[in-house]
């Protein structure tokens, strides 16, 4: 079944992790093992372009990502906004190079999206991965007006924070609200018709955004606090707000968002894909229908299958979800909506004509 995955850090894997995503997943694993790459996430990758095709992930959202950090303690961390800007341009250049060689296709408009779907349905084995471009952290936006340059480059969605506080406000693991520059940035995002990704906002910043942003919202890779009770997940009230605004919530497959008490490098996965399906079902119960939840896997988002459900080896295993939903009584129409239809509807409404 066709999958629309609303959060894939493809540029991060191709540039920061220096992976040749034209290779098979197993070949990348062998290469990293041969090179004795033993950092967390190495030798356990779950996706590549051929694997996306095999998994029927024909369309999705691909990210630009760089984060400003006062202390250089993370591979994503940069020491200046200008370095973040440069790194996100490197990701953009990677997508352009892969588009030139036929592996991906940027979808800037509604017409692009519909044409891509027609091509995929006619010949999926020969159609590149079609993606909407998003930015996971706003640190690469040099100032509120700089968002217009990124829009011209094809950016159609953005989350303004990531982990910790940044120049635009509080992110995950912080209790900081919005910064002053966030106000004109949110105004520009709304005027451009871009979608705002609520993922990675601190609780305080989240509720401030609800009072200051009138445009379309989504939560690209976001699970429920009910199942994993810490701030990275949304409370039911937050989920209901996204739903009330016509948003879609993408369920993520990072164990830290699924398994209570997960500690990177210490804990082994115990949860299975069924826990992600429980999250899907919870969103549907909150909404009263199956129209506001989808897949936002976040696979290979700086980790590998050492930090995913125990029964997930590669992204291909997302194809287990339809049967798990059917066993819960979900109709074929609802399953198709969750796997791709809800995101296709959302971006058909958000992308310019």
User: What is the pLDDT, as a whole number, of residue 74?
Assistant: 62
**Tokens encoding 304:** 């590998």
Rounded to 5°, angle at Cα 191 from 189 and 196: 30
Q: From residue 259, give the alpha-carbon distance in Å to each of 224, 233, 262, 276.
A: 11, 11, 6, 10
End-to-end CA distance of the chain: 27
Q: Quick one: pLDDT at residue 69?
A: 83
**Distance between CA atoms of residues 300 and 350, nearest Å:** 26
In this prediction, residue 77 carries a pLDDT of: 81
Contact in structure between 252 and 296 (CB atoms under 8 Å): yes
Identify the pLDDT of residue 264: 87
Name the 3-class secondary structure at 57.
strand
- Is residue 159 within 8 Å of 135, Cβ to Cβ? yes
Please count the other Cβ atoms lying within 10 Å of the Cβ belonging to residue 325: 21
pLDDT recorded at residue 231: 94
Total structural domains in the chain? 1
Rounded Cα distance, 86 and 78, in Å: 10
Please compute Rg for the chain using Cα positions. Answer: 19
pLDDT for 274 equals 98
Question: Residue 343 is inside which H or E element, if any?
Answer: helix 342-350
pLDDT of residue 72: 58
Domain range for 71 is: 3-350
Q: Domain with 303 in it: what CATH number?
A: 3.20.20.140
Token couple for 86 = 């440069």
Q: What is the pLDDT of residue 140?
A: 98
- Segment-wise mean pLDDT, segments of 10 residues, the chain, 353 residues: 98 97 98 96 98 98 92 73 97 98 98 98 97 98 98 98 95 96 98 98 98 98 97 97 98 97 90 98 98 98 97 98 98 98 98 98
- pTM for the model stands at 0.97
């Amino acid at each position: 079944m066709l999958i629309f995955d609303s959060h894939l850090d493809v540029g991060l894997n191709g540039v920061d992790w220096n992976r040749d995503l034209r290779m098979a997943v197993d070949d990348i694993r062998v290469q990293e093992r041969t090179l004795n790459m033993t950092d967390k996430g190495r030798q356990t990758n779950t996706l590549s372009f051929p694997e996306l095709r095999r998994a029927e992930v024909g369309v999705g959202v691909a990210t630009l990502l760089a984060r400003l950090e006062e202390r250089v303690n993370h591979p994503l961390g940069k020491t200046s906004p200008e370095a973040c800007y440069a790194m996100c341009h490197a990701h953009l250049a990677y997508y352009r190079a892969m588009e030139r060689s036929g592996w991906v296709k940027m979808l800037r408009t509604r017409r692009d999206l519909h044409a891509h779907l027609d091509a995929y349905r006619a010949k999926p084995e020969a159609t590149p991965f079609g993606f909407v471009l998003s930015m996971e952290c706003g640190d690469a936006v040099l100032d509120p007006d700089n968002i217009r340059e990124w829009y011209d480059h094809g950016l159609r969605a953005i989350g303004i924070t990531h982990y910790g506080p940044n120049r635009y406000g509080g992110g995950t693991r912080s209790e900081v609200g919005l910064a002053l520059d966030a106000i004109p940035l949110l105004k520009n995002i709304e005027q451009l018709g871009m979608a705002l990704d609520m993922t990675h906002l601190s609780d305080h910043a989240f509720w401030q955004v609800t009072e200051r942003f009138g445009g379309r919202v989504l939560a690209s890779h976001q699970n429920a606090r009910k199942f994993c009770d810490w701030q990275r997940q949304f409370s039911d009230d937050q989920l209901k707000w996204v739903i009330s605004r016509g948003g879609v919530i993408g369920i993520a497959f990072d164990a830290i968002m699924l398994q209570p008490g997960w500690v990177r490098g210490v804990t082994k996965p115990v949860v299975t894909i069924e826990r992600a399906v429980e999250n899907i079902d919870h969103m549907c119960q909150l909404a009263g229908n199956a129209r506001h939840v989808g897949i936002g896997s976040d696979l290979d988002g700086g980790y590998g299958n050492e930090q995913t459900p125990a029964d997930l080896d590669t992204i291909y295993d997302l194809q287990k979800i339809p049967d798990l939903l059917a066993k819960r009584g979900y109709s074929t129409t609802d399953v198709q909506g969750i796997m791709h239809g809800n995101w296709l509807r959302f971006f058909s409404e958000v992308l310019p004509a």
